[in-house]
Amino acid sequence: MPTHVVRRGVGASAEIISDPSGAEVMFGGRLRGRTPLRLSGLNLGSYPLEIRKEGYLPYAAPVRLEEEGASYTFRATLAPAVSASSFISVSSQPPGAAVKLNGKPTGVTPVKLGPLEPGRYELTIEFQDFPTQTRTLDVKAGALHEVKLRFGTR
């Protein structure tokens, strides 16, 4: 009578690396530690992988462990979580010029406009009998853009 040898599966292992390191690793819905992290004895199958670090956007992806005894490496580069709040500071000499942002009245100088999403904005500044001044600004994320104008001197 043949004997059956039951092989105990060793499972798969996973190495999880992030740039920057020191990020929390959620694997299979459970907190497993910080990167760089090596997990072993994992059952085969699909797992949600999430890598989080304060000041960075979270990384999330499904991962699949398909081969018994195999070692998998997962690398993630975390993108900085940039504050989307940008501002435009507008001042004029003399003060009191009417300011429009993308055609909408937003106040008189000196004025701070925001918070704004990053993008392109058209700034229009009008002062009494002087020619209207227009500026197109490429507003960067988390930045303060300063616009200084002078009316009345040629």
pLDDT digits (tens, 9 = 90+) for 25-45: 999 999 999 999 999 999 999
CA Rg, the chain, in Å? 28
pLDDT in tens, 105-141: 999 999 999 888 788 999 999 999 999 999 999 988 7
pLDDT band at 5 (very low <50, low <70, confident <90, very high): very low
Helix, strand or coil, per DSSP, at residue 59? strand
pLDDT on residue 154: 53
Residues 112 and 85: beta-carbon distance below 8 Å: no
**Two tokens, residue 105:** 């009245």
Least confident of 21-35, 47-61, 74-88, 119-133: 74-88
Sheet strands (E) in the chain:
12-19, 24-27, 30-34, 37-42, 45-52, 59-65, 71-77, 86-93, 98-101, 104-108, 111-116, 119-126, 133-139, 144-150
